[in-house]
Amino acid sequence: MSLKKQLKYIIRRVLSIPVRRKVTAASNVVFYSGVKVYNLLNNPDKIVIGDQSHINGELHVFGFGGEIRIGKRCYIGEGTRIWSGNRIIIGNDVLISHNVNIMDTNSHEINHLERAAGFLNIITDGHPKEAANVNTAPIIIGDNAWINFNSIILKGVTIGEGAIIAAGSVVTKNVPAFALVGGSPAKIIKYVN
């Protein structure tokens, strides 16, 4: 390895120390300079990242719960935000492009009075440890899936192995393995190998 590559590696490792304290990550996970981690449970085991993954987005675990599991050899693109109040499982070899939002929660209450009070509490007291009326449901993304830029994956969705989500899609329902889906809401366009 050249001296330039060695220096780059050392600098990247030193800059990633604050991030690594908030997650459980393999030693060869790469965190890019724009990475942000909001682990409001202050439990590194709530965000687990597998070998050789590259993280260039934001990972959020809410104070009222949540868990993010990212498999091996995954890429999380710049500007992507993964928000968990329940559980998000991302398989191995998953490519998530830039500016994708993955949310397993509504984040706020549906009732307007509860939502206003909840938002005020966040501003004044920080994120709550409990959120009784916030809807959540787990998200599972299968191995070898590809989620293109500016897509949104909503709570309760399972994306099958090898599935492709077209750019700008809003995924509200399960996606079968090896399906190419697109649109808002996303619909099956065709199947791929």
CA pair distance 177, 164, nearest whole angstrom: 9
CB 136 within 8 A of CB 119: no
In one-letter notation, the amino acid at residue 184 is S
DSSP state of 38: E
Cite the active site residues: 108
Q: Which residues contact 27 (CB under 8 A, 6 or more apart)?
A: none
CA angle 159, 74, 83 (to 5 degrees): 60
CB 33 within 8 A of CB 58: no
